[in-house]
Structure 1
Amino acid sequence: MTPKLRELTARGRVLMARTASQALLGPVSGGMPRVYVRSIAERMHEPRIARHVSESFTRTEAVVERYDFPVGFPPRFRRSKAFDERHAYRLHDVLLSPHSGLIWLPGGPVLEESYGSLIRSLGWGDVRHEPLLPVRRLAGRPVIAFAPTGYYHWLLEVLPAAVFALSVEPEALLLMPRSVPAHVLAAAEHLVGPSRIVRLDDIAHVDSCVLAAVEPMSGFVQRAEIDRLRAAFPADPADVDAVYVSRLKDSKRALSNEAEVERAMRQAGVTVVYAQDLSFEEQRGLFAGARTVIAPHGAGLANLVWAQRAEHVIEIFPDSWFNDCYARLSRNLGIDYDYVVASPVAPLDRLDALVNEGAGAGC
């Protein structure tokens, strides 16, 4: 077989797979990633897009934010991030998923800004099944998606988007599935009250909704979003000095020597907490009051967004895993940041030294 014939054969197999996918999944799901709108603002010249957009707003300005890590930190700790200008839109006659917040036009295409990233929608956050779910018409008042994603993404992506959308449409309803974690329901009731929460497992075909674009690069949080969250959810700081956010109750994510780390923290006078046992209000108060926060890498550290008194964060990375999202969040808030690596166990002597160092600095 010649190289050209091999290429044609490969292209033909891809075309057959795409055709089969569209036949099986329909024009919306089967059309991804070819049929989607990356930016509504860029496509407003197209009548099929423009007729669904009533108004657009600037959600956040374009900005470069810098994270001043110590010189000795390795280059994998990213020192800057350029954020594009992000928008929000008042839409009409669209379909909206209460499960993920994904929005698409009748018959397609998908509006990528509703979910943040095509990479996410086809990868770890695959939502191609959602256009195949039953559809229910939801007429009347404007709607805002309030999807119960994983805690980090809900707190730092979904929640600030909903807060901004409510500033555009203060009387809107919040749409979520029937079954949601307690913190999601508590936040929704804080924002709009129980009477304006719509719980639905079907896809909603709505007359009107507000889409506040989600940051496509997960893990990067603008300072403007932090300020927006803190203004919408004031916290009453708890009377606590240093806290260790344990993952002992999470067998899949706990450190291999989590129990030993807990004992060492208690001996050092550190309060050990389990984030999953705390209400949304209690988590806000705990992180608002703590001066030192020690924790394995995980969603509990997203609560640093509430920090008011924190002076020191110590993060424990599991072996062979690294993500600097909480390091950047700490520096964005002006909090000193240190880390240790569990290889494979968390080094108790290094942790103890860091905790004592923070205590000596008045943490």
Structure 2
Amino acid sequence: MQQIVAYESDLLDYGDIFDGSKEIENKVEALKAEARAELGRVLALGGAIAAIESGYMKKALVESNAERLRAIEAGETKVVGVNAFTSSEPSPLAVEDGQSIMTVSDAVEYEQIEKLKAWRASRDAKAVTAALKKLEAAARENRNIMEPSIACAKAQVTTGEWGETLRLVFGEYRAPTGVTLLMRGEASQSIADVRQAVEALARKLGTRPKFLVGKPGLDGHSNGAEQIAVRAADCGFEVSYDGIRLTPEQIVAAALDQCVHVVGLSILSGSHVPLMRDVMNRMRAAGLGRVPVVAGGIIPPEDVLVLKQLGIAKVYTPKDFDMNRIMTDLVRLIDARESERAATISCAMTQGTG
């Protein structure tokens, strides 16, 4: 399309085809005014660093995205392929097998692990240990770590070992999530309906349903998880969300500690199968096999069946933009599992008295 416009029209003959357009000028001025107002708010907080550390910037981003999704759900904003013109021909960008999502074989991971083991076995272990000790000493003494870091690289220290050494000294930074977990007062009819369903479920459970939203792995794309957490809280769920880059072990530990009723996993890195397999195995080992787990992300159709075979109850993709429907699904999943649990207890009691 760009080439057609460029070479089959006289568009490129003009430096600015919008020069003199009142509409464009008005939009630019409005954008500048909004930018200056936002800059004023940031400066009032003490500058960009203070705005980041206070969580203001992340919170503003999350709330802006929440408003955008509300407009998409309401049909006020049209997104082609999502809430408008949803049927189409096969994409010409798809690869030979008809799939447009690249997935990486598990074998690639195993091969890389073996290469890493061989790398570590072939290097000078004493030199590695000495380099890491110097790095740790520099960090603890608040000295510049560049020189010992270069020495680590020359000693063939891995980035994982380098990072772990610094974490021992400084700890691990967890950025503000920007997520406000509360009910937002006035709501649309669809949200009001979900709230009623959540309230009914809470009466049945004797407590508000607890929903853990987790992002395992190195995936840093957090918009989806944040909006699910925000909407769930708005609907009346008790939500736990600790941000990005959690390990499966951390997620399962949180689920066990908080006695959650449902777990939601968000992965957009392509590693959904191995990560969710790890989470599900750990859930069962921790005695949480009855807790329903749902998943969302960039997940090709053929992997949906794989995830369900692993025990994932529901799988959502970007086309599932109706978050109220997702919330309703969560209510039904929890209710069904609670009914199963009650039936199992009743059966056991009956057998015991018999």
Structure-1-length-normalised TM-score? 0.30
More helix by share: 2
Structure-2-length-normalised TM-score? 0.31
More strand by share: 1
